[in-house]
Amino acid sequence: MRCLLLLALFPFMLFAQEAEADSVVYFEANFSLDSYALSAQQKKRVDSLLEVVPFTILKEVYVYGHTDSLADDEYNLALSKRRVQSILSYLVYKGLDPLKVRTDYYGEKRPKYANNPKERYKNRRVELLLSIDVSLIPKPEQRLVDNDFKKGDKIRLPNLNFVGNQPVPVWESMAVLQELLLVMRTYPDLKIELQGHVCCGSDQELSTERARMVYYFLRKNDIDASRLSYKGLSNTQPLYKEVNARAKALNRRVEVMVISNSGHRVKPHEKINLEVEAPVLDVKFAEGSSRLIPSGDFMITLVAEMMKESEGLLYEFTIYNNINDRALTKQRSMALTRALRKKGVPYKIYTVNQQEAPEWMTTMANENSIMLKIKAR
């Protein structure tokens, strides 16, 4: 006997088998009249499915094609076959092993909905049944404070994720930074190495900056430098095969390597300076101009999209005059302010300032260094 569980956040259903260690996820992709092309909207729905049901936990996939009853049997049978081929091509493109797939097509012979003018469009569908091996589903991560922090342990900071292509943490990550700080205060003898990682391609600088961001957050909260070190590992140690956006996000991470710990615990004081600082990388302007070039505008867009979703935080951008041109730096500061406003970031949650470059900062011909400070309101 199978029981039906409707998953509230996604347009598909899970059939859980009581006696076996597997389940079947049911999903329908819909098509336009006489069409077998998978629309952009339907691709997004399939992508949402794969966020929750990655290929790594699948045993088999069954793909069944259907049509409404408006045309003749021969036409509908051929159309349902093309619909199966269309969605199968997309799944294989996304990384599905075709050897795990079983297909069939029925034309109009197996309607699930009434073939009347009001409902027949629902029969223009492909059904996916995804057989899951439940034993392959990753176990929920421990809370950071539940770890023992023994010498040699390597612990991923859970829910510490980053804006793509940036060392800027997403706003939800502030909680785990606070948790890490309390761990460091609880174990006064704990020494750690912070290891930064990236997804999608080699980038030593970005992985180092991600680890450095965590390092300076701890230093601002009075954790002694002798207890901390950091380094970047680029993309040499991915946790997951990058078959979807979720897997890529999880590979953008910082891990804690425990160097030493006596195990001695104390009650931590809980006053926290909730402030992080990170460079905003590759925000480039046209030479001698305040106009953002497309790649620079893209980087600002990534940060802006995160800012628009955030709650209870303020964002302070500082653009440095490391190009030895105060007037142009000021113009670029104003251009950055306008760009954030145009991208829909509420003006009350951010400021953009210009500042002379400190002595240690590299002088560039055209590229201003930009830092972003994130803090509680």
* CATH code at position 181: 3.30.1330.60
- My answer on whether 264 and 308 are in the same domain is no
- My answer on whether 129 and 176 are in the same domain is no
Q: How far apart are CA 361 and CA 373, in angstroms?
A: 17
Strand-pair category, 370-376 with 313-321: antiparallel
Q: How far apart are CA 106 and CA 204, in angstroms?
A: 52
- My answer on whether 9 and 126 are in the same domain is yes
Give the residue numbers spanning the domain of 207: 144-272
Six token digits for residue 361: 């900062």
- My answer on whether 148 and 259 are in the same domain is yes
- My answer on whether 73 and 108 are in the same domain is yes
Among 223, 253, 272, which residue terminates a domain?
272
- My answer on whether 197 and 268 are in the same domain is yes
Average pLDDT, consecutive stretches of 10 residues, N- to C-terminus, the chain (377 residues)? 32 43 84 95 91 85 96 96 95 88 96 94 96 74 82 90 90 93 96 94 93 96 96 90 76 93 92 92 96 96 94 96 97 97 95 96 95 94
Among 219, 246, 272, which residue terminates a domain?
272
Please state whether 140 falls in left (phi above 0), alpha (psi between -120 and 50) or beta.
beta
- Alpha helix positions (H), the chain: 40-52, 73-94, 174-186, 204-220, 245-251, 294-309, 326-342
Number of domains in the chain: 3
Complete edge-to-edge strand list for the sheet that includes strand 313-321: 275-279, 370-376, 313-321, 350-356
Q: Which residues, at least 6 apart from 287, have a Cβ–Cβ distance to it below 8 Å?
A: 366
Angle ∠(282,225,156) on CA atoms, nearest 5: 65
Q: How far apart are CA 168 and CA 209, in angstroms?
A: 9
- My answer on whether 367 and 289 are in the same domain is yes
Among 232, 247, 272, which residue terminates a domain?
272
Q: 147 near 186, Cβ under 8 Å?
A: no
Residue-level pLDDT at 5: 32
- My answer on whether 106 and 215 are in the same domain is no
- My answer on whether 248 and 306 are in the same domain is no
- My answer on whether 166 and 71 are in the same domain is no
- My answer on whether 175 and 131 are in the same domain is no
Q: What is the pTM of this model?
A: 0.65
- My answer on whether 21 and 129 are in the same domain is yes
Q: 16 near 122, Cβ under 8 Å?
A: no
Residue-level pLDDT at 280: 97
